[in-house]
Structure 1
Amino acid sequence: MNRLAGSQSPYLLQHADNPVDWWPWGEQAFDEARRRDVPVLLSVGYASCHWCHVMARESFEDETVAAYLNERFLPVKVDREERPDVDAVYMEAVQAATGQGGWPMTVFMTAEGEPFYFGTYFPREPHAGLPSFTQLLQGVHAAWTERRGEVAQVAARITGDLAERRLSYDAPAPPGEEELARAVRALAAEFDEAHGGFGGAPKFPPSMVIEFLLRHHVRTGSREALRIAEGTCEAMARGGIYDQLGGGFARYAVDAGWAVPHFEKMLYDNALLARVYTHLWRVTGSAFARRVALETADFLVAELRTPEGGFASALDADSEAQDGGGHQEGAFYTWTPEQLRDALGPADARLAAAVYAPGDEGTLRLPGPEAPAELRARLAEARARRPRPERDDKVVAAWNGLAVAALAEAGACFGRDDLVAAARGAADLLVSVHLGPDGRLARTSRDGLAGQGAGVLEDYADVAEGFLALYAVTGTRAWLDRAGGLLDVVLERFAGVGGELFDTADDAERLIRRPQDPTDGATPSGWAAAAGALLSHAAYTGDARYRVAAERALGIVRQLGPRVPRFAGWGLAVAEAAVDGPREVAVVGAPGDPAADALHAVALRAAAPGAVVARGAPDDEDPAPLLAGRPLREGRATAYVCRGFVCAAPTTDPETLAAQLA
């Protein structure tokens, strides 16, 4: 057992029994590399990564490979979800040099952390132009021992290039009407008319872009924006990327038509998509969107909730095959004709085969919900007896913030108090375990114990977003105040003098560069998420400091949105809220008053971009700022719709309130 045995990360623990003498990331590892005068091999992945498992089986579990590696290198393992800062810095180098990235990420570097050679997956044997991993090790060792001067020059040049990549930012104005309209036109030009979504294979759920399109439609009435959003949501949920038996979305489709998924299921995808489909329902009233939103929310609670109340990071793509052939990708989810007959009988198996799409090697996959509900229930029952995929039960702060927001809003919109309770449970865990007495966040926890990694920008921003959503739904003032505390840390520790934002705090561990990325990946960029939370908090409190910070951060979206809207979706969505106001809704009424409940429900179901909702009692001694000075009208529960704390005429009528928010 190597030095990973004491780790909290499930990914690192997967490698704890490797014959490779892995070290965790840290100064001790680099000191040892200096002492031995060997290069560092950095291997970065995550627990549910299919190709990480493949490379581990092929190379890291091989005694011969491990012996060569241990003698000539200092091997370091990093969980990218635990240390996104380390991953971001070296992935930037990989992408700059190779034009692509991915995991496992393989980086060779000096003991000063300067990279000089990198790639992703390397096979056991040479394949498709790639050297074998052993050949790679031999080549790097030869360069290190025979051409050290060249290696040092390459490492210095790459490190210098990375250091010069700091974003030049002068805080231009946030996007306005023209930039937002241009972004929609650019998305329309890239829209896949045949299959929905954008681009070809592989195809990822564009959650943040859909959120922008829905907000743009609500604000402007754009039918084109709604058509693209609705078409993409329909295609995804009727495709194989969506689990028709158990709910929830796979990470991406390997084809352009959403039919064949890469089977790992990530918390962040499903939190974002549960919220997207909830918002699609708010806009259209679609029963289909409602079903998908609730099934996805139920998947989160049933499959990813931990005993402590948080949400686990992911389910593996791989699981034990039915024929005993070892772990295979998709084994839990796919069906052969024989398995269908065993589960359903010959007649219903033929019906299933008629509505399931053919897959690879004789398997059958479910592309849509056309099969009768009774048949799907029987298949789900049969599938439940199979070996289940492993679960990465690490709790990531940012992704739990996304889940809190999604579950709180879905619970409120659909009258599901259990989902609101699940959101509150995760938020409680974030407060009790992740949030320190100094107001700083731990990035991860496991089994109720906080990890060592410091929270990054997306953690503060997404957790603040979740707390603000929970405040809107519950009216509990503590969630608003806690969000404000997190955003104060953002302004103090993550903001630059020009209004730009960094991914790590100014007192975080120093890497070869301070990571900074305003573009979305699989999740909203920390930069855009912080802008959104700051904007909402300003709307709740009237504090101009947060509004100014949000608008300065949104300046980058003015630059990126019209040119690359697929990578600026969340920033564009936040900009839509800023242009719209956002609307501020104050509902005043006694707790348990049905009239106040009715007004509150209307406010929460309104689709106005980024609208904030506060509810309180008329006799609150310390009301939230948005509620201050808002009396009852004629002794009845009353709602106020405002922009910048300037309000329209108050109303006691839910229909009038709905009209004001339309």
Structure 2
Amino acid sequence: MASHENRLAKEASPYLLQHAKNPVDWYPWGPEALGRAVREDRPILLSIGYSACHWCHVMERESFENVETAKLMNELFVNVKVDREERPDLDQIYQLVVQLMGQNGGWPLTVFLTPEKKPFFGGTYFPPADRYGMPGFPKVLQAIAQAYRDRRGEVDLQATELTRAIASATALERSGEKAAADARAIHAVPAGARLAQAVTKLSARFDEHHGGFGTRPKFPNTMSVDLLLRHAALDDDVAARAHVAITLDAMRAGGIYDHLGGGFHRYSTDERWLVPHFEKMLYDNALLLRLYTDAHRALAEARYGDTARAIGQYVAREMTDGAGGFYATQDADSEGEEGKFFVWSKDEIKSALAADEPEEDGYDARTSSEATRLALAYFDVTDRGNFEESGKTVLHTPRPLETVAHDLGIAPDRAEKLLERVRTKLFEAREGRIKPFRDEKILAGWNGLLIGALADAAIALDDETMLGLAERAFAFVRARLVQEDGSVLRHIKGEIVKGPGFLDDHAYIANAAVDLYEATGEPGYMATARKIAASLLARFHDGGGQAQGEGGFFFSPSDGEELIHRAKDPYDQAIPSGQAMTCLLLLRLGSLVDPSYLEPAVAELERLAGPAAENPFGLGQTLIAADRLTRGTVDIVLVGKRGDPRTRALARETFRTYIPNRNVAWLDESDPSSREACAVLAEGKEAKGEGPVAYVCRGQTCSLPVSTAAELGALLRGA
């Protein structure tokens, strides 16, 4: 074997392939690297990142492509590179090292391990030389290697203590008495009280001027906004409703939103949502698609529905594989510069909107001048710009179109038409630029989030294209990533499939199957959801029982790789907690097909509801599931043939209404599989020869059957 051999070229991960030509002796995580560390008693340098990570690219250019730095790494360490999107279990464990050392986590993550995989030091980005108040990376490498060589006892002690701390950090330490009190309290607290308590905590950090929470950097915090929206609708909280509208409007007007191509960037570097970190993540857009759809229903504002449609169009155009699955990310950088694809100078706007010759629709030189004035004013494009003193502008819309049109003396109707033309021409011009890199991994869990959101949005917005996207993607995932035993693999890239999948992969895909069942009435989706749920319970559930402080769900499967800790992590990150989404899945299945699914979900929510009320920012999705359990559901049973236009009309009315804790069941009395898919709710329901009807049930009480959308809508709005 060559002394310096980069082993990443055969990997499927685009992130690992980006590092395949570094002069570093990189290994992927696996037996070869770990075995060498043990044989040679070398510390492991573990570097974790992802393809759309801007600072990962910076550290690569500064350090991993530097021959002298690479030489140090190769001489002193076994160097392992990990794509966090492939191995979230490793990232979950080793991120805690940095946080336990009093630093903020993030990527690139740089952690030093003993050959036994125990961490003893870590950080995130390290500069090539001393700056930003941080030591240079070469200095760090030498100091770590010297400590490992000369103070081994201290290193081993630190590694042991950090490993213990990791185990305790992911556990919710509560005395048996406190846990028992929490279990009793979840059923004793009045409906809505727990959400009200959470919203009070959220509101204390709410930015009244710009929306969202905190200052800079500012993330969408989708689960927190969802809590506000639910409380606003279910408990008629006017302040929470205003906070939702402020946030969604500010994000939609800000530079975090792509005003030409649709979709949202990862986060804003400022408190105003103006200048984003430009990467686009599939999961952000999935969560925001569902949130804007819900806001469209709850707040009756067309602009939220338009935003949801634009997200769907972006995903269809930019993030959809030819076989149907959805890609993971788009990079922040193009041509080595962050944001270059997305920002505009004043001259670039003028050039893109210049009309060289008259066109059939009358878009001539005069119109071009008017359109240019409108574009510059509406998108706030100035000579100075707003992006890094570059003279370039991140497009945003600080003023309503009506105000801009009035100031320019343009009639409102004409301004609308001009703006449509402006967006088209600017988008076409932008398409001529070199696009950011796209990570074409198809991740099971992230696809599940988007499939479910598309299915829900499709029928709410009466958009068959979205439904087609969702069904095609699910067919791909079911064929390539869902195994015969119901286990879910993690991802596919080209023809390379990797697994096993983690808790969130199983929970997200199974919930997506239920979403598709609710949107279409197709019993096969429910059968798939149940198959995955069975595998999830067999491989992730800790059935030890509450008396031993056990129960709950592990993040990694029982047949997965043995790491230094098998975590149960209830906390939301950028995506909802796998444990909370598992509880949601089991509550849904328990209400629809078999009450036996309920027990593990109820036990886990009894354990987590108390901590969730204390920490809604970290456990927002758990609060959502707990609210479903304690408040109860609104169950809509559609009785009739799925293909009957009258049944579809009832379904559309169902999905137009904002009902957070909802179950939808479809019963075709001539199809046994239809009854099996909703066995609990189907009991006692029939059309009685009257054609398609709908029942609305809450608790043990159901309405009389109704046969028109108007009657159903009245029942739902009163439910």
Residues 199-598 of structure 1 correspond to what in structure 2 (within 5 A)?
A: 199-320=214-335, 327-345=336-354, 347=369, 348-357=371-380, 358-359=385-386, 360-361=388-389, 362-368=391-397, 370=401, 372-451=419-498, 453-496=499-542, 497=544, 498=546, 499-541=551-593, 543-598=594-649
Deviations 1:396-427 (A, max 9, x none): 11110011111111111122112111101111
SS at match of 1:196: coil
Give the superposed CA RMSD.
Answer: 1.8
- AA partner of residue 500 (structure 1): G
Partners of 2:131 and 2:372 in 1: CA distance: 39
1:67 corresponds to? 71
Give the conservation status (yes or no) of the 8 Å contact 1:108–1:117.
yes
Give the conservation status (yes or no) of the 8 Å contact 1:317–1:330.
yes
| 1:184 to 2:227 alignment | no
Q: Which moved more, 1:617-626 or 1:337-346?
A: 337-346
| CA shift for structure 1 position 127 | 0.8
2:16 corresponds to? 12
| CA shift for structure 1 position 653 | 2.6
- AA partner of residue 178 (structure 1): A
Give the conservation status (yes or no) of the 8 Å contact 2:56–2:108.
yes
SS at match of 1:567: coil
1:324 corresponds to? none
Partners of 1:515 and 1:239 in 2: CA distance: 38
CA radius of gyration, larger in: 2
Residues 474 and 645 of structure 1: CA distance in aligned 2, closer, same or farther (over 3 Å): farther
Residues 115-154 of structure 1 correspond to what in structure 2 (within 5 A)?
A: 115-154=119-158
1:659 corresponds to? 714
Residues 99-114 of structure 1 correspond to what in structure 2 (within 5 A)?
A: 99-114=103-118
Give the conservation status (yes or no) of the 8 Å contact 1:51–1:121.
yes
Partners of 1:490 and 1:589 in 2: CA distance: 32
Partners of 2:562 and 2:533 in 1: CA distance: 22
Partners of 2:36 and 2:486 in 1: CA distance: 34
Residues 448 and 410 of structure 1: CA distance in aligned 2, closer, same or farther (over 3 Å): farther
| CA shift for structure 1 position 383 | 0.5
Residues 336 and 556 of structure 1: CA distance in aligned 2, closer, same or farther (over 3 Å): farther
SS at match of 1:134: helix
Give the conservation status (yes or no) of the 8 Å contact 2:486–2:534.
no
5+ residue gaps in structure 1? 321-326
Give the conservation status (yes or no) of the 8 Å contact 1:518–1:556.
no
Partners of 2:338 and 2:696 in 1: CA distance: 51
Partners of 2:571 and 2:655 in 1: CA distance: 29
2:692 to 601, 616, 637: 637
Q: Percent identity?
A: 41
Deviations 1:202-227 (A, max 9, x none): 00012112222222222222222222
SS at match of 1:353: helix
SS at match of 1:415: coil
1:323 corresponds to? none
Partners of 1:522 and 1:231 in 2: CA distance: 21
Q: Which moved more, 1:519-528 or 1:366-375?
A: 366-375
TM-score, normalised to structure 1's length?
0.95
Give the conservation status (yes or no) of the 8 Å contact 1:209–1:568.
no
2:51 to 43, 47, 51: 47
SS at match of 1:600: helix
- AA partner of residue 271 (structure 1): A
Q: Which moved more, 1:243-252 or 1:563-572?
A: 563-572
Partners of 1:293 and 1:49 in 2: CA distance: 25
| CA shift for structure 1 position 646 | 4.6
SS at match of 2:75: helix
Residues 157 and 592 of structure 1: CA distance in aligned 2, closer, same or farther (over 3 Å): closer
- AA partner of residue 288 (structure 1): R
| CA shift for structure 1 position 604 | 2.0
2:357 corresponds to? none
Paired positions, count: 654
| CA shift for structure 1 position 352 | 3.1
- AA partner of residue 713 (structure 2): A
TM-score, normalised to structure 2's length?
0.88
| 1:33 to 2:37 alignment | yes
Residues 190 and 94 of structure 1: CA distance in aligned 2, closer, same or farther (over 3 Å): same
| CA shift for structure 1 position 104 | 0.3
Partners of 1:473 and 1:106 in 2: CA distance: 44
Deviations 1:221-266 (A, max 9, x none): 2222222112211111111100000000000000011011000000
Partners of 1:244 and 1:62 in 2: CA distance: 38
| CA shift for structure 1 position 557 | 4.3
Partners of 1:337 and 1:130 in 2: CA distance: 38
- AA partner of residue 556 (structure 2): T
Partners of 1:633 and 1:437 in 2: CA distance: 39
Which of 1 and 2 has higher RCO (CA within 8 Å, sep 6+)? 1
Deviations 1:425-467 (A, max 9, x none): 111121111111222111111125421x311111111111111
Q: Which moved more, 1:26-35 or 1:380-389?
A: 26-35
Give the conservation status (yes or no) of the 8 Å contact 1:308–1:448.
no
